[in-house]
Amino acid sequence: MSGSLVIVGLGPGSQDLLTPAASRALDAATDLVGYGPYLDRIPENIPGQRRHPTDNRVEIVRARHALALAAEGRKVAVVSGGDPGVFAMAAAVFEAVEGGTSQWRELDIRVEPGITAMLAAAAEAGAPLGGDFCAISLSDNLKSWETIERRLRAAATGDFVIALYNPASKARPHQLGQAFDLLRSIKPPQTVVLFVRKAATPETSVTVTTLAEADPALADMRTLVMIGATTTRLIPRAGQRPWVYTPRAEPGMAR
């Protein structure tokens, strides 16, 4: 088949963090498909390139539309913020392929990675992901809150650094508070907590606090919340926010 589909990660926001490979994939596309605000981040500098903006919560519909365009011979780029394989469009596209026409399985489909939010947020704070870590989305649109709680409990018991995606929205203003309450029942009160809003943009803000003092009201959908491990440390700096890092070595292990 002559058509193709590439799923492109736009990174966390700054054009400086859009990879050259992702930029080339966008320039080569005849059609761009994605959530409207993500498409708005891409300069309109390719004559004849068509844009197909959609709403935020129609991932499978968006994926099927993109696959249909590719099956018609178009060179389609499906865009995602951050990395398309992390709580984003790559999984939606392959889900649509699995449940769709056999013709879609013959398409040239590839994933162009990007910098995901937790990596950009970690870089703003220091090196909080220096040890073992995991990522959990607090959105219960596609999985139950019971599943989220089970995974939070397992991650806390395992003493991972936990990156929380989708921590709050207008429809879910209470869930981050519930997550903190669960984590407080397992982890020490002095556990480091980070709120990083709009990472890798000129509007970035970083709040360093503890699990005991963490205020869910500090988070919105542009915020990455990070819960430290028991080994996560602060390095104080005079007149400045401390650096945050998690050592690779456990206490007592030889270096």
Q: What percentage of the chain's residues is helix, strand, coil (to nearest 5)?
A: 30, 25, 40
Judge whether 57 and 83 are in contact, CB under 8 Å: no
Residues 139, 224 within the same domain: yes
The answer to the question of residue 255 being in a domain is no
Q: What is the pTM of this model?
A: 0.92
Residues 20, 45 within the same domain: yes
* Residue (of 208, 223, 205, 182) closest to 128 by Cα position: 208
Count of structural domains, the chain? 2
Residues 124, 216 within the same domain: yes
The answer to the question of residue 253 being in a domain is no
What is the four-CA torsion angle of 94, 98, 99, 105, rounded to 10 degrees?
Answer: 100
- Report residue 239 as tokens: 């007149």
Q: Fill in the DSSP letter of residue 136.
A: E
How many helical (H) and strand (E) elements, i.e. helices and strands, does the chain have? 7, 13
Q: Fill in the DSSP letter of residue 35.
A: E
| Angle made by CA atoms 203, 209, 213, in degrees to the nearest 5 | 125
Strands 192-197 and 205-210: antiparallel
Q: Pick from 90, 115, 140: which residue ends a domain?
A: 115
Tens of pLDDT, residue by residue, the chain (255 residues): 679 999 999 999 888 999 999 999 999 999 999 999 999 999 998 999 999 999 877 899 999 999 999 999 999 999 999 999 999 999 999 999 999 999 999 999 999 999 999 999 999 999 999 999 999 999 998 899 999 999 999 999 999 999 999 998 777 778 999 999 999 999 999 999 999 999 998 899 999 999 999 999 999 989 999 999 999 999 999 999 999 999 998 887 766
Q: Pick from 115, 131, 159: which residue ends a domain?
A: 115
Judge whether 216 and 177 are in contact, CB under 8 Å: yes
- In the numeric block, the tokens 């809150």 are attached to 145
- In the numeric block, the tokens 């398409």 are attached to 107
**Residue 254 pLDDT:** 60
What is the Cβ-side half-sphere exposure of residue 54, based on CA atoms within 13 angstroms?
19
Q: Pick from 115, 144, 173: which residue ends a domain?
A: 115
Cα separation, 221 vs 11, in Å, equals 16
Residues 76, 91 within the same domain: yes
Cα separation, 8 vs 23, in Å, equals 9
Judge whether 54 and 61 are in contact, CB under 8 Å: yes
Spatial strand order of the sheet with 223-227 comes to 133-137, 161-165, 223-227, 192-197, 205-210
Cα separation, 120 vs 224, in Å, equals 9
Residues 64, 105 within the same domain: yes
Q: 193-224: per-residue pLDDT in tens?
A: 999 999 998 899 999 999 999 999 999 989 99
Residues 136, 87 within the same domain: no
Q: Which domain holds residue 12?
A: 4-115
User: What CATH number did the domain enclosing 106 receive?
Assistant: 3.40.1010.10
User: What CATH number did the domain enclosing 185 receive?
Assistant: 3.30.950.10
Residues 81, 198 within the same domain: no
**Residue 56 pLDDT:** 76
Cα separation, 14 vs 7, in Å, equals 19
Residues 47, 59 within the same domain: yes
Residues 15, 69 within the same domain: yes
